[in-house]
Chains A and B, each alone.
Chain A
Amino acid sequence: CSTDELDQSPISDLGANGFYSNTEEFEIAINGAYSTLRFFPDTQFHLQEVRSDNMYAITETGVRPFEPVNNLDNSIATNTYLSDVWDTNFEGILRVNTILESLNDNVVSDQATRERMEGEAKFLRAFFYFDLVKTFGKVPLIDQVYTPAQTLEIGRSDVSEIYNLIVSDLNAAISLLPPSFSGNQLGKATSWAAKAMLGKVYLTKSGPTYGIEGPGLNSGEYNLAIDLFDDVINNGPFDYEDDYATIFDYDNENNSEIIFDIQYNSGAEVGADYPSITVPDAYLRANGAGFTNGEDNKRVSEDLINSYDLLDVRDDVTIIDGYTDENNIFNDVTFYGKYIDLNFKGRDRFDWGLNYPVIRYTDVQLMRAEAILMSNTGRQTDVDTPVNFIRTRAGLVGNLANVDIDGLLAEKRLEFAGENTRWADLVRTGKVVQVMNAWITNDDVSGKIATMKEDFVIYPVPSNQITVKEGLYQQNEGYN
C-alpha cells in the first residue's frame, strides 16, 4: 500500500478544484446561482408584506416568528427571516463571484456565450445586493471571492458604495445580456430585466433618507429611472394582460406582463413554497390538498379589505374570505390566496409550479408614474393613464385625473396586494411612517403593534452576524 492512497477525492460530489473548466460547467454553475432565488418570495412576504399595513398577522398564541415583524418589535435581530435574507444573498454573491473570477476565454471560448454569462452573473449580484441594501442598509461589500478568514476583516460599507456596485453591475448586464431567451433558457434575466431593475434601483436610491443609513439617499436620479422605464415601455416586448387574473394563472406563465420572474416547476424538486405560506394549514386540509403546511392564519388587514370596491375583481383573485373546514364549520378569516390554485397543487408544500413575478409591466408603468410625481418632472398623463388602465381592468367605473402620490399608492396597493411591494413602495415615497401610524391607530384593535419609527424602515443586522466577531458590524439604530 502506498501513501498515495491518503489522497482520496470525493466519489459522489464534484470536487471544486476541477470544476469551472468548460462552457457546460459554467452553465450549470449559473443555474446554481439562479437557484439562490428559490426562497426569495418567502422572505419578501414575511419582511415586506407582513410588515406593512396590508396585513394584520396576529395569531391567538403570539408565538410565530412573523409576529414580531408584524408588530414592529425592536428585538427582532434574532428573527430567522432576517438571517435567511442575509445568508441567502451572500451565498448567491459567493456563487456569482466564483463564476466571475473563473470565467475567461480559456474555459468559455465563445465570446457571446461568455458575455451573456458575465451579464447573468452581474445581474444576479446586483439583485442580491439590492435586496440586502433594502433590508439592512449598510452591508459588507464582497465583490470577489474571499476566504472566511478574510471576511472577518470586512465591515459594512456605506450604502452609496453598495449602490455603486449595483449600478455598475446592472449597466454591465444591460450591455451584455440578450433581449430575450427561449427554450430551456426561458426565464433567465434579459437586458430588459436589467433595465427595469436599474430603474427601480434609481427610484429607490432617490427616495428620502429618513435620517438613517437606509435604501434612500435622496440622490435625485428620478430622471435616470424615467429614461429606463420609458425604454422598457416603449421599446420592450411587454404589454398589459387584459385580464387581471390571468397574470397569475398557472397556465399562462411567461405572459406579456412578465419582465423578470423566479421560475418554478412542479414534480422535479424545483417547486415553490411561497404559495403555501399565506394560507392556513386547516384550509389545505379541508381542501384535501394531500399535504399541509403547518402555517397559522395570517390575516389580511381590515383596512385593505375595506379598500376594495365591490366591483373590483382583484379582491377575489387576491384574498380568500374564509373557508369551510373538515367539520363543515365556516371559519371567518381572511388571507391571501393569490398564488394558490388547488388544481395545480404539487406533491408537497414545496412543490407549487407557479413562477413568481418580480417585476411586471404594470409595475414599471406605476414606477414611472411614481418617478414623475416624486420628481415633478414628466407628464401627468403618464401617471393617470396607467392608473386608469388598471382600474378599468379591475372592473372599476370612472376615470381619475390628476392622480397624486397618495392616490397612486392607494391604487398600487389594490393592484399589488400580496405581491410584497407595499412596504418598499411606502418607504420610497416617504410615506411609511405616517401611513403605518395612521393605520395602526385604526386597525390595531388588540394594541399589539408598536409605533412606527424611522429606524424601522430597515431591519436589524441578524444577531448571529453581530456575534461572529465582536465589533465587526454595528447594529442598526433603534434595534437591540
Chain B
Amino acid sequence: YSQQKTITGTVLDSSSLPMIGVNIVIKGTNSGTATDFDGNYSILVSEGQTLVYSYLGYETKERLIGSSTTYNLTMKASSTDLDEVIVVGYGSQKKGDITSSVASMKTDLLDQRPVAAVDQAMVGQMAGVRVVQTSGVPGQGFNVQVRGAGSISASNQPLYVIDGFPIDQQTQSTSGGYGSGNPLDNISPNDIESIQVLKDAAAAAIYGSRASNGVVLITTKKGKSGAPVINFNTYVGVNKTVKKLDVLSSEEWIERASEAIDYNWVNSVTDGSRNANQTSAEREAILGSFNRNFIKDDRWAMPGHPGLEFVDWQDELFRTGLVKNYQISARGGTDNIKYYVGADHLNKEGVAIGLGYKRYSARANVEVSPNDKLTFGVNLAPSYSIASNPGVEGKDQQLHLAVSATPVNEDGVDYNTGDNTVYTWGASRPSPVRYVQNTTGDTKLFRTLATMFGKYEVIPGLEVKSSLNFDNSDSSYKFFTPGFTDRNRTASARHRTYRRQSFVNENTVTYNNTFDDKHDLNLLAGGSYSTYKFDEQRIQSAGGFATDYITTLNAANGINQGGTYTSETKRVLMSYFGRAQYSYDDRYLLTASIRRDGSSNFGKDTKWGTFPSASLGWKINNEEFMKTQNVFRDLKLRASWGVAGNNGVGDYASIATMGISNYSLGGSSMPGQVPSNSANADLSWETAETYDIGLDVGVLNNRIYASLDYYVKTNSDLLLNVPVPTSSGFGSAVTNIGEVQNKGWELELTTRNFTGDFNWTTNINLSSNQNEVKKLGPDNSPIYGGSFDIQHNVLQVGLPMYTLFLVQRDGILSQEDIDNGYPTLGNQSAGDHKYVDFDGNGSIGPEDRQLSGDPNPDLLWSVNNTFKYKGFDLSVLVQGQQGGLIYSTFGRAINRTSMGFVENTVGRARDRWRSAESPGAGVEGKVNGSFGRIKNTDWLYSSDYWRIRNITLGYDLGAILKSKSIKGLRVYVTMENWFGGDKYSGGFNPEAVNSSGDDYGGFPLSRSIISGLNFTF
C-alpha cells in the first residue's frame, strides 16, 4: 500500500440536499464509514483504492482515489429498471446507459411458471423479438426472429450466447426442425437469470459475421454471498390439443360418398338408362363386375350399419397428457467462493399418443476468488433428453393421415393392420393409431456445456479475462416401425447418431475508469478462436425385418446403401474485436465497436470481414435545463448505426465438390462421381446494415416508462441461392447478391397502474416490421418457389419476401357461366370451382396466377398484466399477430379439388354445391368435380390470431408459515394457451411453417392446466 491519507467530502442528492447515512466502504475490504447529518464524511484510504458509496434506493457509485483529498458526489435515486445492470456483448452495462437497441426480458419469475423451454419463455416478452411456435411437438424448437427476416437463403435465426459462450448456429430446416441440434436444446429455463436480445447492429456487431439476425444473451444463475438458499420448485398438470380439425363425421362421409357414387353411376352412360334408385345388385348385374365407383356399400343405409365401425380418428389419436417438473437448486457463497447448483427433471406427455419429452439436466456454476484480483470459475451443465415422436407432423405423417382417414371401416382402430385388409370404399393407409402406438421414434440427446474462465485485475480498472468453452452434443435417433402396422407389411428402421462439438477460446482485456468525475470510459479488446465439428452416422434397413419383435438393425433383411453412411465436417472462425464506451457527465454517451472475423466457410479470396458500429445517447433529463421540470424522470435519445454479418452458408459451400452417383455395369454397381456444385471463390458473408433511432421516456416518477425504436435494416450481398439456367448443369448457385430491407418500429410500454398493497403493472409490446426485397440475382429476375405442383410464391423486387402468387378463386361456376363461355380449368362444368382468368386468354392455367399478399404479419402485440395483493399474485399474458397470411398445402391435401370420396375431408364440404337448387355455401363445389388442380386462393388463410398464452394465479403462504427454516412457499395454478382465436380452418396452427413457408400439417399446440409449488428454505 502506498501511504494512507484522510479524505473528506459531502454527498448530496439530485436536489442538492445532504444525504444522511450513506454507506461508504473501501472496495475489497470491510472498513468503511457513513455520512453524517450534513452529508459529510471522512475516511482513511490509500491512493489507488476505490470507495463504494451505497444507499438504499439510490444508484451505487464508485470513486477511484487519486491525489485529491476531497471527493464530493451527487447520488441519484435509482429508478429500478434503469439502474439494473444488463449483459451486453462481452460485458455489462447499466440499462440507463445503453445507446443501442437491447431488449431485456424479466426472468425473475421464470422458475415460478411452468415453462418447458427457454424459447417458450420468450414468447410475447420483447418487442421486435418474434418467437414463433411452429410446432406443438414437445421438445421441438421455436423459430426466433429479431426484426423480421432479412435473409433469403441463409439462416434467419439469432446467435445464442450462453454466459458469454457463443453457441454454434444451426439452420432451421424448411420443415421447422433442427436436424443437427437446436442451440437451446436441453437448457433448463429454471437456471436462467436473465435474457437480453441485442436487436440493432450497434449492439450486435461485436459478434461480427454471425450477428445480423440479432444476438440472444442468456445468463444463468450465479452464486451470491450469504447463507445457502435452497429452492424447490415443482409443478404437475395436464395438457391437451388446442384444436381438433373440423372434418366430416362418419355419417356425413357416407352421405357424401353415396352422392358421389350415385352421380358416377347415373352419369356413366349418356342414354339415361341408369338411375340412383338401382340397387347394388342391379348395378353389378348391369356392369358385369363390381366397381366401387358405381356401387355403394349396402350397409351404409341399414339401421345400425351392421359390420361397420365408425371411427373419429382425431379423437383416437389425441389424448390428455401429463406434465411434471421437479427442480431443486441451492445458491450461496462467501467472499471467496460463490456457487449455484441445480438439478431439474421435466416429463411432458404430448397431446397425441406416442409423443413425449423427458429432460434431465443439472448445472453447477462455481466461482472462486482467492484474493481481490483473481477470480476463476467453472460453469458445467450436463443434460439428457428423450424426445419421442413416431412421426405425427407434416405431409403424409400420422396426424395428416388421421385427418384424412376414412371414418368408416370394418375393423375400427385396427384398420388395415396385420391380417385386416383395406375397406373396399376406404383409403389404403393403415390405422394411424396403431401405427403410432407401435412405432418408435426416439431422439436421445446428451449435451454438456462447459465454460472455464479466469479473470485478473492487473491494476485497478484493468482486467484480463480468458475463457475456454466447450459444447458437446451426442444425439441418437432410433426409428422402428413394425410390419403389421405398415401399409406394405414391411418393417423398417433407421438409426442416426451425430456428435456436434464446438470449442471456443476467448480472451479479453477491459479497462474502466472515471476521470474528473465526468468522463466515464470503458475499453474492451479481445480475440477469439472457435472450431465446430459435426460428425454424423446413419444406417437404414432395406427389405423388411426377420421379425417384428427385434427393433435393432441386426434383424433387418438388408441395408439401404443410400441411407447408410457417415460424414464429417469442420469449420473454423477467428476473430479480433474492440469497443470503446464513453460517457460525459452522465449526459452524453458514445459507444463504438469493431470486429474482424475470418471464417473457413468463406471463399479463398474473401476470408476476412470487418464489422463496425457506433452509437450515441443523450440523457436529456440530466441537462441543466431539465432540472426544474418534474414530468420526465428519464428522457434519453439514442441513435445508432452498425454493420453485422451472416455467415450461415453451408460448410465448404465455396469449394467445388464431387458427389457420388453410381451406375450399374456388367451386373454390378460401379462407383461414379459427378460435380455437385459450382465453386465460388468470392463467397463471403451477407452484410446487414442497421440504422436505429430510439427514445426512452419515463414520466410520473417512472410510473409510465416507454421505449420507442425505429429502425431500417438492410441486408445486402445476400447469400442467395440464385436460380441459374440449368444449362450450366446446376439449378442454382450460392452467390453474394441481392438485397432485402426490413424497417419498422417497436414500442415497449410499462405502466405501474397501482403501487402499494395492491400492485398492478402492465407491460405492452407492439412491433411492426415491413419487409421488402430490394434487389435479386442478375437482372433482378423474380425467383419463384413453393413445393408440390406449380410454384406459388415469389421473391420480387419491391414486394415482401415470399409474396404469394396464386390463381384467384371466385365462388362456383353456374350453368349460366358455362353457357356464356366463362373460362374454365380443363373441362369444368356447373358446380365446379370458379377461377379468375387473369390474363384473359379464355382458359384457366398457371398463367393466371396473381400476387396475393404475403405471409409477414403487420403487427405483433402482447399485453402482460400482473397484479399483486398481499400474498396473491396474478399474471395474464395475451399475445397475437395481425395482417399476415398462411398458405396451407396441408389444407390443400385434405381438401383437394376433385378429391373423390375415399378420404375424409374438411367440414366445409358439408355445405357443398349439390345442385343449382341446392348450391350450399358457395365455397365447396360439387362432389364429382373432375377437373385439374391449380394453386389458388382456396387454401390461403389469414394468420391473425390472439391467444391468452398464460394465466397464472399464485399465493404466497410464506406469510402464514414463516419460520426460521422456511423462507417462502408459493402455490400457483397456470392455464397455458387455454383461450384464443384464429381464422385458420386449413390446419392446426396459424403459425405453422413446415414446408418452405407453407403449412403442411404443423402439429397443434397444447393447452394446459398446471399447478405448482415454489418452496424456499
Contact = CB atoms under 8 A, between A and B. Distances in A.
B676 A13 contact: yes
A149 B726 CA distance: 11
B665 A187 contact: yes
A77 B558 CA distance: 41
Contacts of A32: 661, 663, 672-674
Interface in A254-307: 263-265, 267-270, 281-282, 285, 288-292
A15 B664 contact: no
Nearest to B423: A327
Interface stretch (B100-108, B272-280, B560-568, B704-712): B560-568
B289 interface: yes
B725 A472 contact: yes
Interface string A104-125: 0000000000000000000000
Interface in B476-530: 487-490, 529
Contacts of B607: 3, 6
Given A13-B659, A91-B726, A264 B932 contact: no
Nearest to B723: A468
B436 to A, nearest CB: 20
Nearest to B264: A60
Interface string A7-46: 1111111111101000001001101111111100000000
B330 to A, nearest CB: 39
A347 B560 CA distance: 9
B843 A75 contact: yes
B319 to A, nearest CB: 30
Given A71-B826, A464-B784, A63 B898 contact: yes
Contacts of B570: 8, 11
A105 B949 CA distance: 71
Contacts of B558: 267, 347
A401 interface: no
A63 B896 CA distance: 9
B825 to A, nearest CB: 9
Contacts of A150: 728
B871 interface: no
A92 B543 CA distance: 31
Given A6-B607, A447-B827, A470-B781, A285 B428 contact: yes
A323 B301 CA distance: 29
B658 A281 contact: no
Interface in A90-109: 90-91, 93-95, 98
Interface in B774-790: 778-779, 781-782, 784, 789-790
A5 B574 contact: yes
The listed residue with most A CB atoms (<10 A of its CB), out of B428, B602, B663, B897, is B663
B289 A330 contact: yes
Given A31-B670, A94-B729, A78 B791 contact: yes
A292 B666 contact: no
B899 interface: yes
B818 interface: no
A151 interface: yes
B933 A63 contact: yes
Contact of A347 (B542, B569, B727): B542
A4 B658 CA distance: 23
Interface in B645-666: 651-652, 655-659, 661-666
A78 to B, nearest CB: 4
B14 interface: no
B668 interface: yes
Interface stretch (A139-147, A194-202, A235-243): A139-147
B600 A6 contact: yes
Contacts of A182: 666
A183 interface: yes
A329 B665 CA distance: 42
Interface residues of B, number: 97
Interface string A150-177: 1110100000000000000000000000
Contacts of A95: 674-675, 729
A86 B652 contact: no
Interface residues of A, number: 104
The listed residue with most B CB atoms (<10 A of its CB), out of A61, A87, A187, is A61
B411 to A, nearest CB: 12
A136 to B, nearest CB: 11
A225 B1017 CA distance: 97
B810 interface: no
B669 interface: yes
A480 interface: yes
A470 B779 CA distance: 8
B280 to A, nearest CB: 13
A325 B292 CA distance: 12
A6 B572 contact: yes
B421 interface: yes
B900 A464 contact: no
Contacts of B789: 65
A281 to B, nearest CB: 7
Nearest to B527: A1
Interface in B531-577: 531, 542-544, 558, 560-562, 566-572, 574
Contacts of B781: 467-470
A210 to B, nearest CB: 23
B529 A1 contact: yes
Contacts of A34: 663, 665, 672
Contact of B899 (A16, A61, A288): A61
A35 B672 contact: yes
A13 B657 CA distance: 6
Given A154-B725, A470-B779, A38 B652 contact: no
Contacts of A267: 558
A463 interface: yes
Nearest to B726: A87
Contacts of A442: none
Contacts of A93: 727, 729
Given A8-B572, A148-B730, A448-B826, A17 B656 contact: yes
B672 A186 contact: no
A209 interface: no
A60 B931 contact: no
Contact of B599 (A6, A74, A183, A480): A6
A470 B667 CA distance: 46
Nearest to B566: A12
B669 A269 contact: yes
Contact of A77 (B561, B841, B846): B846
Contacts of A187: 664-666
B960 to A, nearest CB: 60
Contacts of B487: 285, 292
Given A62-B932, A469-B778, A289 B727 contact: no
Given A63-B897, A292-B488, A347-B560, A332 B289 contact: yes
Contacts of A208: none
Given A9-B655, A75-B845, A289 B572 contact: no
Nearest to B260: A60
The listed residue with most A CB atoms (<10 A of its CB), out of B421, B651, B674, is B674
B422 interface: yes
A69 B790 CA distance: 15
B847 interface: yes
A249 to B, nearest CB: 15
A406 interface: no
9 contacts: A10-B655, A13-B676, A16-B655, A62-B932, A265-B668, A269-B561, A285-B488, A446-B930, A468-B725
Given A31-B665, A148-B678, A331-B291, 15 more contacts: A1-B529, A6-B602, A8-B651, A12-B569, A29-B672, A62-B933, A146-B728, A148-B728, A184-B666, A270-B669, A282-B428, A448-B826, A463-B846, A467-B784, A469-B781
Interface of B: 289-293, 421-422, 424, 428, 487-490, 529, 531, 542-544, 558, 560-562, 566-572, 574, 598-600, 602, 604, 607, 651-652, 655-659, 661-676, 678-679, 722-731, 733, 778-779, 781-782, 784, 789-791, 826-827, 839, 841, 843, 845-847, 896-900, 930-933
